Structure 1
Amino acid sequence: MGSFFKECEHPSSRWSKCPHEYRIRYRNASGWQTEESGFTTQELAKSRLAEVYHARKNSPMSVHKAERIKKYGSMQFSAYTTEWLKGQRHQSPTTLRNTESTLKNHLLPAFASRRMGTFDHKVVEAFISEMERNGVGPAAQTNAFIRLKTILSDAHRLGIYEDSPLKGVQAPQYDPARAVIPSVPQLQSIRTAGDDAFRLVAELMSGCGLLNGEALAVNININIIVADDVYRITEQVNQTTKTYAPLKHRKAGDYRDVPLAARVRHSIETYSDTYGTGAVVLRERAVAGVPAHRDRPADMVRDQLDAAPVVGQRHTAADLVRRAAVVTRIADQCEAGGGLSGFRLCLVIGGSALW
């Protein structure tokens, strides 16, 4: 509520007989510390503090806060998260799917009926300990903690808690294993494995640095291959909605151009000649949900390397750039890539071209 004091040299036991005035200190309605002076007796100082306390308690801001605490503090976790999810419209379909999965598998089984006002750091720590005892993987523990942290932080902003229930809590530690980037011989083996669809995905990801969804949305329309050695990426297959979507972290209509090796272009054209013209058949397979989508390329690469985890083949393209001893710009021929027109990057390591 506040405090009263004197700034003289007398001890507090002598204040009642001391002639000096009392001062009071309190926090105003805006939360700022405020001091007042000029109180001749202790009773006047206490009376002023009580007056300030009741005025603050009955202010519109305090009344609204009390109403929020009453409404949301007694609300069950399951009902609160349902309402909270409605405000996550800005999230992508994939993020929403992952959030709903974490709620269903970890958070709701633990907290569905718990009242929001009963969360504190002990409850959160007990939840983390329970996940460890149940053998939940480190990555799943981290995801569950992040979602719980987001929800409780939202409740804290509403004023349900005086102190954050996450204060002092040690988050689960997730140290992912080192990813495997295929070597050149392994890459050559991958490019000849699986069916035609997989081989085309491997070519696009390792040769042009495409994401899984971007490779599955490959199209050879005249507006996509803007030059003999330039490929324009305009869309991707969304793994959640099974529809075509803008590029990751980009708006509809945005694009990026990447170098197109002759070998990769030949693979695109060969696949199109075999399975269809215009938009290649692979696009329709991906959107229809036929197993040529997302996890299948990673699984086949993992089988070829006999190692896990394996990064997307697009990292191979970046790794080739990083390890390249010589990066040259040519106009006519590249030893491994075949004929080229215009300019493109040819990566040469140990005297042989990798593209």
Structure 2
Amino acid sequence: MAARTLAHGMGAFFKECEHPQNRWSKCLHPYTIRYCSSSGRQTEETGFSTQDLAISRLTEIYNEKRGRPSSQARAERIQKYGSMRFQEYATEWIAGQRHLAPASLRHLESLMEHHILPALGSRRMNSFDHKVVDDFIRTMEQAGAGMATQANAFDKLRAILLDAHQLGLYAESPLTGVKPPQYDPSRAVIPTLRQLHSLREAGDDAFKLIVDLMSGCGLRNGEAAAVNLNNIVADDVYRIKEQVIMSTGRYGPLKHRRAWQYRDVPLPSSVRDTIEGYAEKHGSIDGYLLRRTTDPTQPYPHWEMANQWRRLKAAGTADIPDGMVLYGLRHFFASNCLSHGVPITDVADWMGHRNLDVTFKIYRHLMPGSIGQAAKVLDMALVA
């Protein structure tokens, strides 16, 4: 959907239809305008029959804002939003996150429901300061929330409070001086190669397939559950196009990606053998290998994977290191790549991280080399 933007920050107008801009004047669909209101919120109005009417309305709004003192506008925003409950403000903020994929939106809503709103939902927006935010982090720590959950919940709270700060609700950001939860790389327990072999032999064929996909190709749990023969696009390339969404039990787009997006990852020959061997032994449905045990017409659910993991740990039949979770198989993939000199930029892309900072923060300690080793390498090149 293309939009035509006016100068001086007056806003933009567009049509929500399939017609290109050069056909708008002949199209019967109404024009919609988008502008930043005096309260700082992005606002849309629709129903304008002509382009001139849309521009006229944008000009009217622009002139009104120019004629209003900024201090008066800020006072009105503080009056409107300052006394608002955090839950109400967050609901409005979430409604504006239209860029989020369905899985990301569900993850956000889960964090709000289970961690943020129980602690902060009834608090007035004008009562936030760094002490309130620090207390929220301590509350999560005392509740035993995992570091990844703590970091994700803090990131969402920070985004909401920064939005409020931009509206002028706070003279000083309530995040100033707050030390965010830090992911501790030492908490990521990674199995050795011997332990990995022990794990893949202890479970059933489905679990063995999951172990190989996560440790050999870097797939997430849900991506491994959606393994499909048709995704082998070359002898050494597997294309990840979807995952089994935990909350719905259905196939859906990848994390941070739209439905049509995918990522290609290296496919070791041993993993390809496991995939093809499973298909030969158990068959497939539309290329899908893993299905629900009690109903083969349904995708393989997360709970079947989690139940088998718990049974293996309880039985003691596999050599599972203390503190390891199923996600440690994906950590093994990253560790294996980085310890063999694969660039971290490639690893980040294969693992589906939205930006390199995520990969670097988690796996920097696994990267080979040190400043001393770098000096030796550079010296060898200089004297050659």
TM range (shorter): 0.5 to 0.7
1:90 aligns with 2:106: no
Cα separation, 1, equivalents of 2:76 and 2:83: 11
Q: Alpha-carbon deviation of 1:197?
A: 0.8
Q: Deviations over 1:2-35 (max 9, x none)?
A: xxxxxxxxxxxxxxxxxxxxxxxxxxxxxxxxxx
SS at match of 2:123: coil
Partner AA of 1:121 in structure 2: H
Segment drifting more, 196-205 vs 143-152: 143-152
Q: Deviations over 1:140-177 (max 9, x none)?
A: 54444333222211111111112212223343455353
Q: Give the counterpart of 2:267 among 252, 259, 263.
A: 259
Structure 1, gaps ≥5 residues long = 1-55, 326-355
Over the aligned positions, Cα root-mean-square deviation in angstroms equals 3.5
For 1:133-172, list aligned pairs within 5 A. 134-137=142-145, 139=147, 140-172=149-181
Q: Could you say if the C-alpha distance between residues 130 and 243 of structure 1 is closer, same or farther in structure 2, counting changes exceeding 3 Å?
A: closer
Structure 2, gaps ≥5 residues long = 1-64, 342-384
1:231 aligns with 2:246: no
Cα separation, 2, equivalents of 1:125 and 1:253: 38
Cα separation, 2, equivalents of 1:173 and 1:204: 28
For 1:242-281, list aligned pairs within 5 A. 242-251=249-258, 252-261=260-269, 263-277=270-284, 278-281=286-289
Q: Could you say if the C-alpha distance between residues 191 and 152 of structure 1 is closer, same or farther in structure 2, counting changes exceeding 3 Å?
A: same
Cα separation, 1, equivalents of 2:139 and 2:242: 42
Q: Could you say if the C-alpha distance between residues 233 and 158 of structure 1 is closer, same or farther in structure 2, counting changes exceeding 3 Å?
A: same
Q: Alpha-carbon deviation of 1:129?
A: 4.9
Structure of higher CA gyration radius: 1
Residues 191 and 321 in structure 2, CA contact (< 8 A), matched pair in contact too: no
Residues 81 and 125 in structure 2, CA contact (< 8 A), matched pair in contact too: yes
Q: Give the counterpart of 2:221 among 212, 220, 226.
A: 212
Q: Match of 1:110? A: 119
Q: Give the counterpart of 1:291 among 293, 300, 303.
A: 303
SS at match of 2:174: coil
Q: Deviations over 1:214-260 (max 9, x none)?
A: 32222223xx3334444333333333343333444444143415234
Residues 189 and 328 in structure 2, CA contact (< 8 A), matched pair in contact too: no
Q: Match of 2:200? A: 191
Q: Match of 2:73? A: 64
Give the TM-score taking structure 1 as reference length: 0.62
Q: Alpha-carbon deviation of 1:323?
A: 4.7
Q: Give the counterpart of 1:309 among 303, 306, 324.
A: 324
Residues 120 and 165 in structure 1, CA contact (< 8 A), matched pair in contact too: yes
Cα separation, 1, equivalents of 2:302 and 2:211: 17
Residues 245 and 251 in structure 2, CA contact (< 8 A), matched pair in contact too: yes
Residues 78 and 168 in structure 2, CA contact (< 8 A), matched pair in contact too: yes
1:101 aligns with 2:110: yes
Q: Could you say if the C-alpha distance between residues 299 and 154 of structure 1 is closer, same or farther in structure 2, counting changes exceeding 3 Å?
A: farther
Q: Match of 2:365? A: none
SS at match of 1:192: helix
Cα separation, 1, equivalents of 2:335 and 2:133: 41
1:179 aligns with 2:188: yes
Q: Alpha-carbon deviation of 1:191?
A: 1.8
Cα separation, 1, equivalents of 2:281 and 2:209: 12
Cα separation, 2, equivalents of 1:164 and 1:91: 25
Give the TM-score taking structure 2 as reference length: 0.58
SS at match of 1:177: helix
Residues 76 and 115 in structure 1, CA contact (< 8 A), matched pair in contact too: yes
Residues 138 and 174 in structure 1, CA contact (< 8 A), matched pair in contact too: no
